[in-house]
Structure 1
Amino acid sequence: MTATGSDTAVRELPRDSDGLATTDEALTTLRERLPPFLEQLVADAGADGLVVRLDGSVETTVAATLAVDAIGEEHVTGLVMPAFISHEAIARNAETVAESLGIEHSRLQLQPVLAAVQGAVGESDGPVDDAIATNNMLSRLRMACTYYVANTSNLLVVGPIDRTRYLLGSATKYGETAADCLLFGDLYQTEVRALARHIGIPEDLTFETAGSPLYDGQSAIEQLDVPPETVDRILRLRFDQEVERATVADRLEVDPELVDRLDEWCVRTRHKRQQPPTPGVDRC
């Protein structure tokens, strides 16, 4: 199960006993292979550069760093898109990341846009106070703004969603997952965090969260209340190596019910990883 064609950049990595690419050799290989993947993506599309949504997370910071490694700071644009006052510290951190990388960046305040959408929906008697709907709308507004910048500047959008969030469905459909490439679509959260440390990204530049801190609500891993690395090891064995449930539980010394819960979670959110279904009508 591969999120994008980026598996060519992470294939045959030296891995630990449970399959995670967290060894020094693996991380060195990733640092060498991911920038050329981005460089080739830009060249194949005839694009002028890359745009990255910066949200203060480890994932977006690593993505922006690798984008600069790939094509140079002058060809990378960062977008910081807070919506509420509570996002101010996050936005400042994201801007610090952009400044440290030397990339052009802009802050887009989404609260007025969100208010306009909610006002329009309110006029048609829609549920404007639904927290889940609001958070999903913010994610899709960020996507729309990012693609507007990309379209008007001939850029490609780099999506920083890791494989953990991708499999668990803890990202908004047609929001955070909307991108021209999912750079970490084949890397688990534990692997991306290890890559950040390997690169030498200062911990005070990022927010240590299970997902983007701009998106409210408890993350899937937080709801499970187990170490993120345990989740990643289970997912790797179950979905990439197709190891039987009981074997995974025994091998990792975890409760079989945890393995079942992750299986169910991934099945329930499968629709987020698939193209919209069609009725199967024959085409000319």
Structure 2
Amino acid sequence: MTVSHTSEPASLPREDGLATTDEAQARLREQRPAFLEELVDDAGADRLVVGLDGSVETALAATFAVDAVGSERVTGLVMPAFLSHEAISRTAETVASALGIEHCRLQLQPVLAAFQEAVGDSSGPADDVVATNNALSRLRMTCAYYVANTTNALVVGTVDRTQYLLGGVTKHGETGADCLLFGDLYHSEVSELAGTVGIPDELTVETSGSPLYPGQLPIADFEIAPTTVDRVLRLRFDEGIDHETVVERTGVEPAILDQLEEYHAETEHKRRQPVTPSLRSHIN
């Protein structure tokens, strides 16, 4: 997995710890397309590929991709697998049409069926929900890279830092991209940025995971604001503030912070680079 970071977010003016101030948003709006443009130039690539799933993150990523290299050099992929994905797929296609980018819909149901038939009974029942969702995530990234390989393009990952820290991603799935455009921005920061850019609410689905399959983060069950969750995560994991001080500064219940820490610990394997016997390093 390639994870690209910049030093920009750390120096942004913040409000309650988050880069949602007008100045921060203006700088992010300028910096993200420049980041993608430099990435393409450094790689000698011709295009960018973005998976579109109707979410805020993918709509914003496609917008920045167009700002970076032009609409004629961006490909959007809509990759549903079930009939329940139809409405969201239409939303994603509307985003692509509004941006004027080349896009296509890849129906993954027959691909998934062929995959499950090929695997057979070798790894458990074909109706295992977790295994099926993980397989779909990896199939989507495989399709994105096939298109990228055949068009000399780079794949833009759209996972945000909230998803990343709490494990709301599939290992070797959504994070298996050439860059994570929002890997250093929390979900509330990305949502604010989408509003700053002017992406209409009706063109996106507010979600903490990909709406094309059940990928919701566990924080959906918490009775606290998403922005508070992001503030807690930033203080605890980015700034390394101790447990007691985070509770005091944010006002969250200690039990909630305990649960967030547990989610983070349980999903550490998703953030770890493949290890070798002599090197056991991982990314944070």
| TM-score, scaled relative to structure 1 | 0.95
Q: What secondary structure, in the 3-state scheme, does the structure 2 residue paired with 1:280 have?
A: coil
Q: Distance in 1 between matches of 2:215 and 2:29?
A: 32
The secondary structure found in structure 1 opposite 2:7 is helix
% of aligned pairs identical? 64
Hey, what's the Cα distance between the residues in 1 that align with 2:137 and 2:72? 27
Question: Which digits, 9 at most, give the CA deviation of each residue in 1:70-121, with x for residues without a partner?
Answer: 1110111000000000000000000000000000001000000001111122
Distance 2:45 2:123 in 1: 42
Q: Deviations over 1:198-252 (max 9, x none)?
A: 1110000011111110121542221334321111010000011111111111111
Q: Mark the CA change 1:123 to 1:261 in structure 2 (over 3 Å): closer, same or farther.
A: closer
SS at 1:8's partner residue?
coil
Question: Residue 240 of structure 1 aligns to which amino acid in structure 2?
Answer: D
- Equivalent residue number for residue 90 of structure 1: 88
- Where does 1:1-284 land on structure 2 (aligned, <5 Å)? 4-16=3-15, 18-122=16-120, 124=122, 126-280=124-278
Mark the runs of 5 or more structure 1 residues left unpaired by the alignment: none
> Aligned pair in 2 of structure 1 residues 63, 217: CA closer, same or farther (>3 Å)?
closer
Distance 2:211 2:70 in 1: 27
* Aligned-partner Cα distance in 1 for 2:55–2:190: 11
> Structure 2: which amino acid aligns with 1:277?
V
**Which deviates the most, 88-97 or 125-134?**
125-134
Distance (Å, rounded) in 1 between the aligned partners of 2:201 and 2:70: 23
Identify if the C-alpha distance between structure 1 residues 279 and 194 changes in structure 2 by more than 3 Å, giving closer, same or farther. same
Distance 1:129 1:27, change over 3 A: same
Alignment root-mean-square deviation, CA: 1.4
Structure 1 Cα separation of the partners of residues 123 and 185 of structure 2 = 42
Partner Cα separation in structure 1 for residue 33 and residue 174 of structure 2: 21
1:211 alignment partner, SS class: coil
Go from structure 1 to structure 2 and tell me whether the alpha carbon gap of 1:124 and 1:274 turns closer, same or farther (over 3 Å shift). Answer: closer
2: distance between equivalents of 1:106 and 1:234?
39
Aligned-partner Cα distance in 2 for 1:173–1:139: 9
Range with greater deviation from structure 2 (89-98 or 218-227): 218-227
Q: Structure 2-normalised TM-score?
A: 0.95
Q: 1:7 to 1:231 in 2, by over 3 A?
A: same
**Shift of residue 44, structure 1, vs aligned partner:** 0.2
Q: Which amino acid aligns with 2:158?
A: P
Shift of 1:125: 6.7
Which segments of 5 or more consecutive residues in structure 2 lack a partner in the other structure?
A: 280-284
Tell me how far apart the structure 2 counterparts of residues 37 and 217 of structure 1 sit (CA, whole Å). Answer: 28
- Asked if 2 retains the 8 angstrom alpha-carbon contact of 1:81 and 1:109, the reply is yes
Q: Aligned partners of 1:185, 1:154: CA distance in 2, in Å? A: 23
- C-alpha displacement of 1:24: 0.7
The residue type equivalent to 1:8 in the other structure is S
Instruction: Classify 1:123/1:5 alpha carbon distance in 2 versus 1 (closer, same or farther; 3 Å).
Output: closer
Asked whether the equivalents of residues 55 and 205 of structure 2 are also in contact (C-alpha less than 8 Å), the reply is yes
Conserved? CA contact 2:3–2:178, under 8 Å = no
Aligned partners of 1:225 and 1:122: how far apart in 2? 42
The amino acid of 1:15's aligned partner reads R
